[in-house]
Copies of this chain bind each other. A is one copy, B any other.
Amino acid sequence: MPFTYAHARPALSTDCVVFGLDAEDLKILLIKRALEPFKGRWGLPGGLARVGESLEDTARRELAEETGLRQVFLEQLYTFSSPDRNPQEHVITAAYYALVNLSEHPVRASTDARGVAWFGLTEVPRLAFDHAKILELACERLRGKIRYQPIGFELLPRKFPVRELQRLYEKILGRALDKRNFRKKILNMGILQELAQTETDVAHRAARLYRFSKEKYDRMKKQGFNFEV
C-alpha cells in the first residue's frame, strides 16, 4: 500500500541510548542489526516513526519490540539530520535516552540472546550509522545533567545504600568522589529517605538503606541545583 506526497519527504526514525547500572558498570543496551545497511553490526535500538504516533511513542514501541523494555524513563536527546548519516537514503532520527534499573527491568528472554546485549561504556564495539556520535552526546548529556539535577531514581533499585548512589555518580562522572562530602551533600539535599532496613547478604557491615523521596526528587529536578561534590 504505497503512499504518495507532493514533495519528497525524508524518512524519520527514533534511536534510543539505554543506560543501565549493574554490579560492575554503567552499561548501554545494543542490538545486533539483522538487516542492511550495517547488517551484523551493533547499533542502538530504534525504528521508523509512524504517522499518528508521537516520537516518544515510537521510541517506546521500538524499545519494547526489540528489547522487551517497557515503562522506562525516557527523554529526548537530540535530532540528528545530516543527509549522509544513512547511506541508503536521507533518514532523520530523533534520539532519546533511557535510564533503567536492571534489577527491575530484565531484558526480555524471548529475544534472541545473541541479538541484544549490555556493553560497558569502555567496551562498546563499532556501531552502525552515526550511533557512536549519538552515544557520545548521550553520555555528555548525562554528565551535564547530573550537575544540576538529581539522577539515580531511574537507575537504582527502590531501596539502596548510599554507597550505590555514590558509585553511580562516580561511574557517570568518571572520577572518584569523597565519601564524607558526598554523604553530607546528598543527605542534606533531602531527596533521600532513610529506611529502618539495612542491607542483607553482604560480607561486611551492612549499610542502612534509603529510598528516593519522589516529591523532593521531582521538585529538585524542576528547580535545579548545583552539585559539584
Contacts and interface: CB of A to CB of B under 8 A. Distances in A.
Interface of A: 1-12, 48-56, 76, 78-79, 81-83, 89-90, 92, 94, 144, 147-148, 224, 226, 228
Contacts of A6: 1-3
Given A10-B49, A49-B10, A147-B224, A92 B5 contact: no
A49 B5 CA distance: 13
B148 A52 contact: no
A83 B12 contact: no
B2 A5 contact: yes
A49 B92 contact: yes
Given A8-B3, A9-B12, A12-B9, A54 B82 contact: yes
Q: Does more than half of chain A's interface fall in helix, strand or loop, or is it mixed? A: loop
Instruction: Give the number of times this chain occurs in the complex, counting copies.
Output: 2
Nearest to A228: B226
Contact of A5 (B3, B56, B76): B3
A7 B94 CA distance: 18
Given A55-B79, A224-B147, A4 B7 contact: no
Given A3-B5, A10-B12, A81 B94 contact: yes
Contacts of A79: 55, 76, 79, 94
Residue among A1, A3, A9, A12 with the highest chain B CB neighbour number at 10 A:
A9
Given A54-B83, A94-B79, A224 B7 contact: no
A65 B36 CA distance: 38
A89 to B, nearest CB: 8
